Structure 1
């Protein structure tokens, strides 16, 4: 909940933080404050933004950017931007964790973008809560924090006053959500309209790329993977895959699940949909033709499976991500 007086948002620029995201968030909140001030000049300022620099040596959080009146004011929300490189998990970040826990106990909203979720997890603030992070960091996150209910398809996950956002550019969605949380939907929509960005509502799975493991150490399963990948357009059965792997079917199913974390039919669907996505992005072929080329003989089944995995219909996906001109010719999206 918003505290008395102006809402005070702190953006933590830890070492390695993506400064473009931190500065972009600051600009978004500045725009929101200007729009709020135009509507209620007598109440300004309603929103104050500070850049927070944590001094590892002293354990003191240094405040930049805020007026002196607000520099020591309680923080309404604390945002952890993405990391430009590896996730912030080294020992150097350990002194920051008690400060985050203390701020949570004082009632601040805590939010992260992308790899910032690793800091919330290390601070113990995601225990028993759903969360998300960048889809490319899912395996690392799950290895470090196996008990956290990660939802990698989601771009934004809220758990009370703990909020996590997925990909690097999800800071726009997070910033608008914070504006909505503090000042209502009208202020959020007004800010989004001014900045020409979409209100929150996207999903990370629109953008994620299925990357099957090939370093699982099971040569029989790898052989079946490679065989299937060369036959995406053909119908294949679990029995055939087991035969290629040289394994009895029950043993194959058990080892496949252990190596890849998916059942063979789930793996085949993920691989086929990944290939369909690439073709929808670059090809002018009809959607039915692309489905056929990716192993789907029934167009309705293709659309249903694509929607379940991606969160968009093939036509909507093509409209969002196609790289060329689809406005002419007979091969328009269907």
Structure 2
């Protein structure tokens, strides 16, 4: 029997902005309704649960939209914005950091908005990675966590297994991105129309189609995926991945393909192209500079791979989705 329930766990940590907790819950329920209306087969259910701390600091469930269903690992964990004078950090967060790490290890997408990234950074999952938050919190979080690259110029950063959103109301962007990931673009757009949220510039500016499979339960391969998402894949080949996984190359290739649906080379290419998409849309770097920053030493090879995966050239993609004034390309890459 096919499991058609998708779980979303929302952390109602101390000083969380409760309006966003309930707003996200309502948004996901609207998405579930539209999936039921539009589904040609069995509709999916979005099971939204809220988790808080008890007096001993342990994490426990305090709300469930589908309480009669059996427990299962959530597909996503959401850390909403904070509303207090202090960022969510330290002992008062109780068991939340370990709770978040455990779900990440089980394949859940970890999402944070605004000050929620402070709690996410406390887990150590952002070490060596990029994240965004409210511009007001950027300096404080960067000082407390120097191993995290804080970029407050971005409204949304989607790295596959971790999604971070910027300002207070960026929980709406985060919610729409998660609906897109879990239920598809049509349901996301229907939800946005119903809630009168403009998804155009948001999705256009931060567009990415690579949705890695993280719920396959092969913990060795999942560890490699998490590593790939957080490292520079330039020059990284199968031997290095297999060695890190402590597997023979043939065994590693077989298990990686089975778990993710892609071979390791294709997976790394899609990660690089996802990064290139962000750079093309949000920076004024030339195509050659984007290629280099994305892990390609040969700009022509980058163009071929980009067109193969995306369906258009880097120049065409930039014309459609750029939110900055594009540079004058020396090589006429607008159509090539």
Residues of 2 paired with 1:58 and 1:91: CA distance?
9
Paired residues of 1:51 and 1:64 also in contact (CA < 8 A):
yes
Does 2:119 match 1:119?
yes
Q: Cα deviations across residues 60-87 of structure 1 (Å, max 9, x unaligned)?
A: 4224133223462211111011111111
Judged with a 3 Å threshold, the aligned counterparts in structure 2 of structure 1 residues 66 and 73 are, in CA distance, closer, same or farther, namely: farther
How far residue 200 of structure 1 moved from its aligned partner, in angstroms, is: 6.3
Q: Which residue of 1 aligns with 2:136?
A: 136
Larger radius of gyration: 1
Q: Which residue of 2 aligns with 1:69?
A: 68
Q: Which residue of 2 aligns with 1:20?
A: 19
SS where residue 50 of structure 1 aligns?
A: strand
SS where residue 49 of structure 1 aligns?
A: strand
SS where residue 43 of structure 1 aligns?
A: coil
Does 2:10 match 1:11?
yes
4+ aligned runs moved over 6 Å, structure 1: none
Q: Which residue of 2 aligns with 1:83?
A: 82
When normalised by structure 1's length, the TM-score is: 0.57
Paired residues of 1:13 and 1:51 also in contact (CA < 8 A):
yes
Q: Cα deviations across residues 88-134 of structure 1 (Å, max 9, x unaligned)?
A: 01311142111110010011111001010011100001112110010
Q: Cα deviations across residues 124-174 of structure 1 (Å, max 9, x unaligned)?
A: 011121100100111101110112111110010112210110000001100
How far residue 4 of structure 1 moved from its aligned partner, in angstroms, is: 4.1
Judged with a 3 Å threshold, the aligned counterparts in structure 2 of structure 1 residues 71 and 92 are, in CA distance, closer, same or farther, namely: farther
Work out the number of aligned pairs and report it: 205
Q: Cα deviations across residues 206-231 of structure 1 (Å, max 9, x unaligned)?
A: xxxxxxxxxxxxxxxxxxxxxxxxxx
Give the aligned CA root-mean-square deviation in angstroms: 2.3
Q: Which residue of 2 aligns with 1:47?
A: 46
Q: Which residue of 1 aligns with 2:147?
A: 147
How far residue 41 of structure 1 moved from its aligned partner, in angstroms, is: 7.8
Q: Which residue of 1 aligns with 2:246?
A: none
How far residue 47 of structure 1 moved from its aligned partner, in angstroms, is: 1.4
Judged with a 3 Å threshold, the aligned counterparts in structure 2 of structure 1 residues 108 and 63 are, in CA distance, closer, same or farther, namely: farther
Paired residues of 1:156 and 1:174 also in contact (CA < 8 A):
yes
Q: Which runs of 5+ in 1 are unaligned?
A: 204-310, 314-334
Judged with a 3 Å threshold, the aligned counterparts in structure 2 of structure 1 residues 52 and 25 are, in CA distance, closer, same or farther, namely: same
How far residue 45 of structure 1 moved from its aligned partner, in angstroms, is: 4.5
What does residue range 176-187 of structure 1 map to in structure 2 within 5 Å?
176-187=176-187
How far residue 193 of structure 1 moved from its aligned partner, in angstroms, is: 1.1
How far residue 53 of structure 1 moved from its aligned partner, in angstroms, is: 1.7
Q: Which residue of 1 aligns with 2:95?
A: 95
Q: Which residue of 1 aligns with 2:37?
A: 38
Judged with a 3 Å threshold, the aligned counterparts in structure 2 of structure 1 residues 169 and 158 are, in CA distance, closer, same or farther, namely: same
SS where residue 83 of structure 2 aligns?
A: coil
Q: Which runs of 5+ in 2 are unaligned?
A: 204-322, 326-336
How far residue 52 of structure 1 moved from its aligned partner, in angstroms, is: 1.6
Paired residues of 1:176 and 1:200 also in contact (CA < 8 A):
no
Residues of 2 paired with 1:116 and 1:60: CA distance?
16
Residues of 2 paired with 1:146 and 1:201: CA distance?
31
SS where residue 78 of structure 2 aligns?
A: strand
SS where residue 68 of structure 2 aligns?
A: helix
Residues of 1 paired with 2:121 and 2:128: CA distance?
11
Judged with a 3 Å threshold, the aligned counterparts in structure 2 of structure 1 residues 44 and 53 are, in CA distance, closer, same or farther, namely: farther
How far residue 17 of structure 1 moved from its aligned partner, in angstroms, is: 0.3
Does 2:163 match 1:163?
yes
